Amino acid sequence: MFGQYKQGVNGYAKVAAETGVMAASPVKLIVMLYEGAITACHGAVSCMQRHDIQNKGLLLSKAILIIESGLRLSLDKKAGGQIAENLDSLYAYMSSQLSQANIHNRPEKVHEVLKLLNELRAAWEAIDQNKATAHVVSQAKINQQGAGVNNKLAYLAKV
């Protein structure tokens, strides 16, 4: 009955997702990658519980792809130093755990990766929140400084 409309709704969802990506800050893009991997992992665990082998494999492959081609490839090891190296090792570990979870149907391995992904996402969200808070505070200071040159600076800071 609603089949003909499903394609249209999916089209709107895709446009909304693409718009979100285009408007997102680099930190928000990283958070979105974590969210995608987390969603895929949750779906894979659900598939494991239902013995849906095909979709389990697809979802774990999607999570691995996000980790390897999104998160891991975006690391700048030269600029990021030891932190980037540590994240690289952690991403490699997560991909390995998800591969093992897929091969041996081990949801506990997916749960371990989910814990890591959630902790990392929370850290990146805190970074994003701190940047937003710092921006609001700096805007408030500029706006409180009075008229004349200070108003001109406030205007320029908003642009």
Determine the 3-state secondary structure of 147 from DSSP. Answer: coil
- Please give the pLDDT value at position 24: 78
Longest dimension (CA), the chain: 69
Of 133, 127, 129, 98, the closest CA to residue 115 belongs to: 98
- Please give the pLDDT value at position 40: 98
How many domains in the chain? 1
In a domain, 150, yes or no: no
- Please give the pLDDT value at position 131: 67
Per-position DSSP letters for 100-142, written without gaps between them: HHHHHT-HHHHHHHHHHHHHHHHHHHHHHHHHHHHHHHHHHHH
Instruction: Please return the burial class of 70, using the count of CB atoms within 10 Å of its CB with bins 0-12, 13-18 and 19+.
Output: middle
- Please give the pLDDT value at position 108: 99
In a domain, 144, yes or no: no
In a domain, 147, yes or no: no
pLDDT along the chain (159 residues), means of 10: 49 49 81 98 98 98 98 94 96 99 98 99 89 51 44 46
In a domain, 146, yes or no: no
In a domain, 79, yes or no: yes
In a domain, 128, yes or no: no
In a domain, 142, yes or no: no
- Please give the pLDDT value at position 132: 58
In a domain, 139, yes or no: no
Give me the amino acid identity at 44.
Answer: A
- CATH number of the domain residue 115 falls in: 1.20.120.340
- Please give the pLDDT value at position 134: 54
* Spatial separation of the C-alpha atoms in residues 110 and 113, rounded to whole Å: 5
* Spatial separation of the C-alpha atoms in residues 158 and 1, rounded to whole Å: 50
Integer CA distances (angstroms), 50 to 29, 40, 47, 120, in order: 32, 15, 5, 28
Domain limits at 41? 3-122
List of residues 6+ apart from 39 with CB closer than 8 A: none
